[in-house]
Amino acid sequence: MSSGGHHAHPPKQPDIEDGPYSWHMALTDAVADLLLAKGVITGEELRRTLETIDAATPARGARLVARAWCDPAFRTRLLEDVNAAAAELGIDAGAIPILAVENTPELHNVIVCTLCSCYPRYLLGAAPDWYKSRAYRSRVVREPRAVLAEFGLELPDHVRIEVHDSTAELRYMVLPLRPPGSEGLAEEALAALVTRDCLIGTAVPRVPAES
């Protein structure tokens, strides 16, 4: 299993925003108040950051994948530096480095955060509930093939599965294989084949006949 370093995670946020005011929520508010009081950020900067995060969707990551499928030079740059490659398309991927891991006919990549729910929200939008669940976080490391099968993804025995553990210092996204029969499609149509789960590694892109 790959790891981007030690898990110096920020406090885990509650899954239900309308729930009780928890210790984690109080700590988050206290840190934000401190940053504002010290002049590290302004209220306007904080507002813009929250709006950017809230507006993010998996379509951003899908655009990167589609461009990489069509442009070998961009694919190389994406694998070297996701954040910089995203900026080329006018996409703000955030300040935390993101590493793209490429699927091949012999290798399939899956993303997890084993200690909480570190996730490239700027690029993929909000993490799904199952990604944050204890069952997924523990089982995908121990039995990834079985977990993927439960998602409906049956991989051939010869395909090796590698699990990548996201941290507060490094996030991951999967660069999936281009599906057969998609050779004549334009970038926009290719992006429509890529779902959020493809970018996490619990699914593969739809073939055009099924899209």
In DSSP terms, which residues pair with 195 in a beta bridge?
none
Asked if residues 145 and 200 have their Cβ atoms less than 8 Å apart, the reply is: no
Write down the catalytic residue from 2, 118, 166, 182.
118
Give the Å distances, CA to CA, from 105 to 127, 156, 168, 202, 210: 27, 10, 30, 16, 21
- pLDDT score, position 14: 34
- pTM value is 0.76
Distance from the first to the final alpha carbon of the chain: 32
Asked if residues 60 and 86 have their Cβ atoms less than 8 Å apart, the reply is: yes
Query: For 26-41, what is each residue's pLDDT tens digit?
Result: 766 777 677 778 787 7
Write down the catalytic residue from 22, 117, 138, 198.
117
The residues spanned by each domain of the chain are 20-55, 57-210
Going by C-alpha positions, the residue among 104, 148, 121, 108 that lies closest to residue 49 is 121
- pLDDT score, position 1: 72
- pLDDT score, position 17: 38
- pLDDT score, position 117: 84
Query: For 66-85, what is each residue's pLDDT tens digit?
Result: 999 999 999 999 999 999 99
Q: Is 113 a catalytic residue?
A: yes
Write down the catalytic residue from 2, 22, 70, 116.
116
Going by C-alpha positions, the residue among 187, 169, 181 that lies closest to residue 208 is 181
What's the token pair of residue 136? 């997924």
Regions of the chain short of the pLDDT cut 50: 6-19, 24, 51, 55, 210-211
Q: Taking the alpha carbons of 64, 201, 120, 131 in that order, is the dihedral positive or negative?
A: positive
What's the token pair of residue 143? 């039995």
Write down the catalytic residue from 22, 113, 133, 166.
113
What's the token pair of residue 118? 């570190």
Q: Is 116 a catalytic residue?
A: yes
Q: Is 118 a catalytic residue?
A: yes
In DSSP terms, which residues pair with 104 in a beta bridge?
107
Instruction: Map residue 71 onto helix, strand or coil.
Output: coil
What's the token pair of residue 116? 């909480």
What's the token pair of residue 132? 């944050």
State the fold for domain 57-210: Nitrile Hydratase; Chain A (3.90.330)
